[in-house]
Amino acid sequence: METPTPTGTPTDTPPEATPLPRRVAAVTALADPARRALYELVTRNAEPIGRDAAAESVGLSRSTAAFHLERLAALGLVDVEYRRLSGRTGPGSGRPAKLYRRADAEISVSLPERHYDLAGDVLAGAIERSIETERPVRETLRAVAGEAGRSRGAASASLPLALAGNGFEPYADGDDLVLGNCPFHRLAQKHTDIVCELNYELVRGLADGCGDHDHAVASEPGAGRCCIRISRAEASVRGSSTT
């Protein structure tokens, strides 16, 4: 029996499921004029389109159109389905045609890496839960951000990999980790306190989700480019015991 997902919990696929090199390859594939013309043709059509019709529409040979369509499919830019165009079934009705339609998946590339979709998902989820539970939005934001972090962290083998996969660009600062990138940079510039809270709870959730109990996450303005410092838990405990 499946455990119900709490209201307002982001359930999107972690970004490491689609590595940056593959997303870059998908976008750069459209630099080819013929391939881009076929992609635009497929996305403009309400119904899936076959190789013959696609080739005729863009003025390519069938074999060339098929080559480019297969490349688009391999990169996740279009989806494939099979259907008998004659509508007939049974013996003698012929083989189903291979048809191409616009892919449901979204592909985006940003440098430095940004994840505004995740921020939007967390913020919308927090508002939704706040309305349903009648609890303060800021309180539910912290909870939803933590849940999103745990979900994404569970897909990673270590905290550094989880951080890297979510665009934080972790690097060593002595024995600690600091973050070289804020995935929500423009939002953080306009709404600093809210986004920093979101970041903090998200990173804590990443650590919890990937089972990392050796590090302590702390908010520290001026640490890296994301105001978060990740220290060895033992060192953090020793430091607090001497103050």
Return the pLDDT at 91.
55
What residue type is assigned to position 149 of the chain? G
Q: Is the bond leading into 112 cis (omega within 30 degrees of zero)? A: yes
Q: Provide the CATH topology of domain 19-102.
A: Arc Repressor Mutant, subunit A (1.10.10)
Return the pLDDT at 41.
97
Lowest mean pLDDT among 110-119, 203-212, 223-232, 233-242: 233-242
Q: Tell me the average pLDDT across 77-89.
A: 80
- Is 241's pLDDT higher than 50? no
Domain boundaries, the chain: 19-102, 112-241
3 pLDDT band (50/70/90 cuts)?
very low
Q: Tell me the average pLDDT across 154-173.
A: 94
- What does residue 102 show for φ and ψ, rounded to 5 degrees? -60, 135
- What does residue 170 show for φ and ψ, rounded to 5 degrees? -70, 145
Return the pLDDT at 236.
46
Dihedral sign from CA coordinates of 75, 78, 79, 85: negative
Give the helix/strand (H/E) hosting 38.
helix 33-44
Average pLDDT, the chain: 87
HSE on the CB side for 100, CA within 13 Å?
26
Return the pLDDT at 111.
87
Q: State the burial class of residue 153 (Cβ atoms within 10 Å of its Cβ: 0-12, 13-18, 19+).
A: buried
Instruction: Write out the two tokens for 3.
Output: 């455990």
Return the pLDDT at 136.
96
DSSP-derived letter for residue 220 is: -
- Is 122's pLDDT higher than 60? yes
The answer for residues whose C-beta is within 8 angstroms of residue 13's C-beta and 6 or more apart is none
Residues of the chain with pLDDT > 90, as a percent, come to 72
CA distances from 194 to 75, 123, 142, 146 (A): 36, 10, 9, 14
Global confidence as pTM? 0.73
Q: pLDDT by residue (tens digit) across 29-75?
A: 999 999 999 999 999 999 999 999 999 999 999 999 999 999 999 99
CA distances from 114 to 85, 127, 189, 192, 242 (A): 43, 22, 14, 16, 39
